[in-house]
A and B are shown apart, each in its own frame.
Chain A
Amino acid sequence: MKRRTFLAGMVAVPVAGCGLSGTSNSGSSAGGQVTGEITFQTWSLKPKYTDYVNGVIDAFQQQHQGTTVKWVDQPADGYLAKVMADASAGTLPDVINVPPDLSFPLAKAGQLVDLDEVARDAKPEYLENAWQAFEIPGQGGCYGFPWYLNTGPLFYNKALFRQAGLDPDKPPANFDELEQYALKLAEKNIAILGQTPSIADFGLYGVKLFENGEFTFNEPKGVELVESYKRMYDAGALIPEALTQNYTGAGTKFMAQQTAMNPGSAYDLGKFKTDAPSLYANIGITTPITNTGSANMFLHGVSVPKSSKNQATALAFGRFVTNAANQVAFAKLASIFPSTTKGGDDPYFTTEDGSDEARVRVAAAKQLKTAVNYTPVQFSDQMREALLQQLADAMLGKKSPKEALDAAVEECNRLLK
C-alpha cells in the first residue's frame, strides 16, 4: 500500500483509486444484502465454456432476484499483468478466478476477504486439502473458495520404450526403477525426461519442503533426489534443454517425441490427440511415481477482493459457482475435478466405459482423494527460477548437489523475508 501512496504522491493528476487501499475500504460489509451488480473474472474459459458459465450466472440471478453478474473472461496470456494492474489501482473485479500462487501474495498484502471470517460455514463443503491450499500457513485465514482441481497421470511413449528393449506395458513404478529405465533408454540415445525436478517433484520424493517458516528441501532426502538426476543427466537421460526448460517446454519436447516420459494433466490426453496424433497412437498411461502415497494436485479458486463494493453478493456468487452441483457439471465438460466433498461421488468419476479418457478420469479421481498441492504457496516465480538455475549448476557439475540445494534454499528464504 505504501507503494501506491508513493505513486499517488508522484502522479500529479488525482488518481482516485489509489487512496482506496485494500484494508481500509468498506463499501458494504460482507454481511450485507445479496443484490446489485458484481463483476466476475475468469481465467481463459471463453469461448469453449461460455454456455456453461452463462448458465451458472442465470441460475444465480434467478435465485437472487435483483442481482446482476457481469462476466469478463481474460486470456491466460497476460492474466497476471491484468491482475497486477487492477490490484495496484484498487480496481479488482468483485469475484476473481485465481490459483493459490496468485491469491497468496494478494492475501498477504491484505487485499482479499478472509473466508474463515465471513463464510466459515462453507469450509465443510470442500475437500480439506483443497481448502487448505488457500490458507496462509502459520497465519490462518482462507482466501479463496476452492474451484476446480486437477491431477494427472504419468504419460510415457511406448514406441520409445520398445526401441530400448523395455516392456511397454511395465512402466517404472518407483524412483529406483525410474533411474534404471532412464539409464537403459540412454544407452539407445533416448532421453527419458525433459526437465530437472520441480519443487513438487521434491515433495513427491518425500522431501520436507517447508517447516517452521523456512524452506528445508536441502535436507538429505532432497540431495538424494538431485544425485539421482545428476546420474541420469550424465548418462544422457535428460535432454540437454532440461536445464532451462519449464513445464510447457518439457511438454512440447514430449509431444515432439524427444523424451519418453512426462507428467501431465487429465486434459493433456486431448491435446495429444489433436496436436500429436502419432504420439497418441503410442501413449502409455501410468500412475505418478511417489514416495508418499499422495499424488500432486493443481487447483484454481475464486477470491473476493476487499475493494469490492458489493462483498455480500460477491461472496454468495463465489460460493454458488463452486458448489457441488455446479462443479460436477463443469467437470463433465472439461477434464477437471470438483473440489467439493460430495463432487467426487458422481458415477462419472467412478465408472469406466472402456475409453482411455474414462480410464484416466477414474484413476485421477481416485488419486485426488489423497492428493496434495505439494508446491508451497510461498513458492514464488523467483524461487522457482532460483531452484532451476541451481539445479542446472549441479547437473553441469559446477556445484555438488548439496551445494546447489543449499544455495537454492538460501535464496528462497531470502525472498521469503
Chain B
Amino acid sequence: MKRSPVSLALRYLGLLAVLAISIGPFLWQFVTSVKGPGEDVFVPDFIPDDPTLANYGAVADVVPVWSFALNSLGVASVNVVTNCLGAAMAGYALARLRFRGRRFAAVVFAGSILVPFEAILISLFLVMRGLGLTDTLTAVVLPGAIAALNVLLLRNAFLALPAEVEEAAIIDGANAWQRFTRLALPSVKGTLVVVALFSFMFSWDDFLWPLVVLSDQEKYTLTIGLAYLQGTFVQNQRLVAAGTIIAVLPLILLFLLLQKHFFRGVGEGAIKG
C-alpha cells in the first residue's frame, strides 16, 4: 500500500473537518460547566473568563452521585450481558439455522423496533405491576434486556461469516450450541463490542422508564438523580451542565477503550485467534 505524506495529510484534514462539526455540543456543555458565577450562560462564549471546577463539587453536594451511579452501573452492566448473549443467540438462529417460523421470528424483532416506547409506557407499567415487579431494578432492566435492534445487528454479522467454517464443524459432529460458542461468537467480536456499547449507552441514558417504574429513591439511577438539578425554584445551568458531563464521562471513556475493538471481526477473531 502506498502511504504518501500527502494522503496522510489529506486524511488528517478530513478527520479534523469532521471533528469540527461533531464536537460543538460537548464543548458547549464542558465550557458551561466550568463557567464562574459572574458569566452569562445563555450567551455563547467558548472561552470562559473565570474557569472553575467548583460546579462539579456542587453537583456532588446536591445529588448523591456515587450511589446513583452505582445503580446505573449495575443496571447497565446486566444489560450488556443479557444483550450480548441473548441477542447473539437469537441473531445466530436467524442467520445460520434453517427452520420453519424463521420469518415469524424476524417479524417479531423487526416489529419491536417499530413500536414507539412512549406509546406503550403506561401499558408496560401495568404489565410490570401485574408481574409484581414495580419499584425493582429488575423492572428497569427487563424491557431492554434483549433489544431487537441488537438481534438484527448480530444477525447481519453472523450472515457475513463464510459458510465453509461451519460446514467443517458439522462434519466433525459439533452441535449447534458448540458451533455457536466456539466458532460463530468469537468471529463477531467487533459487532459484539458495538452491541455492548449500545446496550450500556441506552441503559445508562434511559430516563423516563426508570422514573416511572421506580418509587424508592434508594434505587434511582443517575439520570433521574441529575434531573434534581433542575429544581422547582432553583436552577443553575452551570450545575446542570456539570451534571451532564459527569453523566457522559463514563460513556466517553468506555468508547475510548472499546473503539479499537470494533475491528475484531472475521480477520482477527476466527481465523487468527
Contacts and interface: CB of A to CB of B under 8 A. Distances in A.
A32 interface: no
Interface string B214-226: 0111000000100
B66 interface: no
A85 B37 contact: no
Given A45-B232, A78-B208, A72 B217 contact: yes
Interface in B111-131: 121-123, 125-127, 129-131
A255 B40 CA distance: 9
Interface stretch (A202-210, A219-227, A270-278, A380-388): A270-278
Contact of A78 (B41, B131, B211): B211
Nearest to A8: B126
B129 A48 contact: no
A84 B208 CA distance: 12
A96 to B, nearest CB: 12
Nearest to A253: B42
B227 interface: yes
A257 B208 CA distance: 33
B130 A91 contact: no
A47 B131 contact: no
Interface in B179-213: 207-208, 211-212
Interface string A261-275: 000000100110011
B63 A81 contact: no
Interface stretch (A15-23, A118-126, A193-201, A357-365): A15-23
B29 interface: no
Nearest to B127: A11
Which of A14, A77, A278 gathers the greatest number of chain B CB atoms within 10 Å? A77
Interface string A40-72: 000111111000000000000000000000001
A334 B233 contact: yes
B43 A85 contact: no
Interface residues of A, number: 44
Given A73-B217, A85-B125, A277 B233 contact: no
B interface bracket (residues with beta carbon within 8 Å of A):
35 or more
Given A82-B212, A85-B122, A256-B42, A11 B130 contact: yes
A278 B212 CA distance: 39
Interface stretch (B164-172, B234-242, B264-272): B234-242
A46 B130 CA distance: 30
Nearest to A278: B40
B101 interface: no
B28 interface: no
A46 B227 CA distance: 10
A275 to B, nearest CB: 4
A403 to B, nearest CB: 34
A75 B227 contact: yes
Most buried by B among A16, A78, A84: A78
Contact of A252 (B38, B42, B217): B42
A246 to B, nearest CB: 16
B230 A13 contact: no
B222 to A, nearest CB: 12
B231 to A, nearest CB: 5
A253 B220 CA distance: 33
B118 to A, nearest CB: 9
Interface in B28-45: 37-43
Given A15-B130, A252-B42, A275-B40, A43 B232 contact: yes
B126 A18 contact: yes
B62 interface: yes
A287 interface: no
Nearest to B225: A75
A72 B215 contact: yes
B26 interface: no
A277 B215 contact: no
Contacts of A7: 123, 126
Nearest to B37: A274
A277 B39 contact: yes
A7 B224 CA distance: 28
Contacts of A77: 207, 227, 230
Contacts of B134: 91
Interface string A68-99: 00001111111001101100110100000000
Contacts of B38: 277
9 tightest A-B CB contacts, nearest first: A75-B227, A13-B130, A15-B130, A256-B42, A85-B125, A44-B232, A275-B41, A334-B233, A78-B211
Given A13-B131, A81-B208, A82-B211, 16 more contacts: A7-B126, A11-B130, A72-B217, A73-B217, A76-B230, A81-B211, A81-B212, A88-B126, A91-B129, A255-B42, A256-B42, A256-B43, A270-B233, A274-B37, A274-B238, A277-B40
Interface of A: 7, 11, 13-18, 43-48, 72-78, 81-82, 84-85, 88-89, 91, 252, 255-257, 267, 270-271, 274-279, 334-336
29 contacts: A11-B130, A13-B127, A14-B130, A15-B127, A15-B129, A16-B130, A17-B126, A45-B231, A72-B216, A75-B211, A75-B228, A76-B230, A76-B231, A77-B207, A78-B211, A78-B212, A81-B212, A84-B122, A85-B121, A85-B212, A255-B41, A270-B233, A271-B235, A274-B235, A274-B236, A274-B238, A275-B41, A275-B236, A277-B39
